[in-house]
């Protein structure tokens, strides 16, 4: 059997509710500065939940031409901007690289919902006689999930493996993990990977309200609404943004003297085969997924220093994820630090795993574990060390990042401090 090629993370790019660059994002996590506010993109008065974690002050103009902005949905703009940030951060000179060996794997849970709603609204207003003639020729290219990966590839001229994934809230972890496999087997030397989401629209938001999945108890105190593992949690807070990482074959990175954040060492995937939206009550899928990722990394559970949890702030996810962690880690579960950065960012759906892997990589680089904010009242069903409310300085060598999506999709990534 051929030895798997090692893969490292050399570039980070993020657009988030708490900062449109990596520095602002990380600073907000450590300060516990919530990105949740009353919705501004439309009037939420008649919705049961009225709050979300919107991206603020986003300007794609420095990264995209006016024509590109007009012809791309918001989620694609997030992806392109984050990808260009990751390239800049990596200090790679694409003109000196074989672009046939650089690929893109970026997903989205929902895709171009903004575009769908705008075009449909116009069709209805004009009626069946005039409506069809006014449908934009860019409707389909703007709404399809794969266009984030496609547009990044086109914009940066990356001609290697190009694909997309859509597995709800596990999307970005699957994209990053699949990018790992592509480099490991030698089909590319670099991969731009992650997720992008922009679904805070009337229908996207209304759909989650109808599911009774969103927090409604803190409409008057939005910054307190996302409270993973806290007994007072009552639902997640919808977010948007993108998290993109540049994965690079380790030897290639060392040869060009790249800044290396960490090594992407393990990837585990599984399916619950249980329910459309609810996790398996025994945490079976999450357990198998975490075990697979640790085994793939060549590590033991006790090697893990920190878990960036899926931690959505819903009753069932937090309870079941806690149970799954205890089953996987045994006695070590009480010793490993666990936090949910969704307490600050809200839940970015298909982009969540991307921004959370970035937070995990920075935890290794900076030696600081970001906190779970709004943790006020312990829940007997959630009895681990959730790094409550304040960041923690620590020697972070190995981090696990979980993503558990609707449909029973599970994906776990393991990263570790890189040693040449």
Instruction: Answer yes or no: 262 catalytic.
Output: no
Q: Flag whether the pTM goes above 0.95.
A: yes
pLDDT band at 3 (very low <50, low <70, confident <90, very high): confident
* Host H or E run for residue 185: none
Residue 2 predicted with pLDDT over 70: no
CA 312 to chain CA centroid, Å, is 12
The residue annotated as part of the active site, out of 169, 209, 262, 382, is 169
Per-residue model confidence as pLDDT tens digits over 69-78 = 999 999 999 9
Mean pLDDT of the region 141-159: 97
> Quick one: CATH architecture of 7-110+145-416?
3-Layer(aba) Sandwich (3.40)
Adjacent-strand bridge partners of 382: 379
CA distance 26 to 85: 15
Known catalytic membership, residue 169: yes
The structure tokens 């680089």 sit at 365
pLDDT (tens digit per residue) in 270-319: 999 999 999 999 999 999 999 999 999 999 999 999 999 999 999 999 99
CB of 337 closer than 8 Å to CB of 392:
yes
pLDDT tens readout for residues 404-420:
999 999 999 999 999 97
Length of the chain equals 420
In the set 114, 174, 252, 310, the catalytic residue is 310
> Which residues are paired to 236 by β-bridges?
214
State the average pLDDT over residues 370-378.
98
Average pLDDT over residues 216-224: 98
Residue 354: name the closest of 223, 214, 197, 229 by CA: 197
Q: Where are the domains of the chain?
A: 7-110+145-416
- Phi first, then psi: what are they for 339, rounded to 5°? -145, 160
Rg for the chain (alpha carbons), in Å? 20
Closest CA to 203 of 163, 238, 231, 168: 238
The answer to whether residue 265 scores a pLDDT higher than 80 is yes
Q: What is the token pair recorded at 120?
A: 């449909």
Q: Region of 212 please: left (phi>0), alpha (psi -120 to 50) or beta.
A: left
Residue 71 and residue 281: Cα distance in Å, rounded?
A: 44
Phi/psi at 142 (5° precision): -85, -30
310 is catalytic: yes
Q: How far apart are CA 16 and CA 252, in angstroms?
A: 30
**List 114, 174, 252, 347, catalytic entry:** 347
């Amino acid at each position: 059997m051929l030895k798997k090629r090692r893969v490292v993370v050399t570039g980070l790019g993020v657009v988030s509710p708490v900062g449109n660059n990596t520095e602002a994002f990380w600073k907000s996590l450590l300060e516990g500065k919530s990105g949740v506010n009353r919705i501004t993109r439309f009037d939420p008065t008649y919705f049961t939940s009225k709050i979300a974690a919107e991206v603020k002050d986003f300007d794609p103009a420095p990264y995209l031409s006016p024509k590109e902005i007009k012809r791309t949905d918001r989620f694609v703009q997030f992806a392109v901007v984050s990808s260009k940030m990751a390239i800049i951060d990596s200090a790679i000179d694409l003109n000196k690289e074989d672009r046939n060996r650089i690929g893109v794997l970026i997903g989205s849970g929902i895709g171009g919902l903004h575009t769908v709603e705008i075009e449909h609204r116009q069709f209805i207003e004009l009626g069946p006689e005039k409506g069809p003639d006014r449908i934009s020729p860019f409707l389909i290219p703007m709404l399809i999930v794969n266009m984030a990966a496609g547009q990044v590839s086109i914009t940066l001229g990356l001609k290697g493996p190009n694909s997309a994934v859509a597995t709800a809230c596990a999307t970005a972890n699957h994209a990053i993990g699949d990018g790992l496999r592509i480099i490991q087997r030698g089909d590319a030397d670099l991969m731009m990977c992650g997720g992008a989401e922009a679904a805070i629209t009337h229908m996207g938001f209304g759909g989650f309200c109808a599911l009774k999945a969103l927090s409604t108890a803190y409409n008057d105190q939005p910054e307190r609404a996302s409270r993973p593992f806290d007994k007072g949690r009552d639902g997640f807070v919808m977010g948007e943004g993108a998290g993109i990482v540049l994965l690079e074959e380790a030897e290639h990175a060392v040869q060009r003297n790249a800044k290396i954040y960490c090594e992407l060492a393990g990837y585990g995937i599984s399916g619950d085969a249980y329910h459309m939206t609810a996790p398996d009550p025994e945490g079976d899928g999450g357990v198998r997924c975490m075990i697979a990722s640790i085994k793939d990394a060549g590590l033991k559970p006790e090697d893990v220093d920190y878990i960036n949890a899926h931690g959505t702030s819903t009753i069932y996810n937090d309870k079941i994820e806690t149970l799954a962690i205890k089953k996987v880690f045994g006695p070590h579960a009480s010793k490993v630090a666990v936090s949910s950065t969704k307490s600050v960012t809200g839940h970015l759906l298909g982009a969540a795993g991307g921004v959370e892997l970035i937070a995990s990589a920075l935890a290794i680089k900076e030696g600081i574990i970001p906190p779970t904010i709004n943790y006020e009242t312990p829940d007997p069903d959630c009895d681990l060390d959730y790094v409550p409310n304040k960041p923690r300085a620590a020697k972070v060598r190995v981090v696990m990042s979980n993503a558990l999506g609707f449909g029973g999709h599970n994906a776990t990534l393991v990263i570790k401090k890189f040693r040449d």
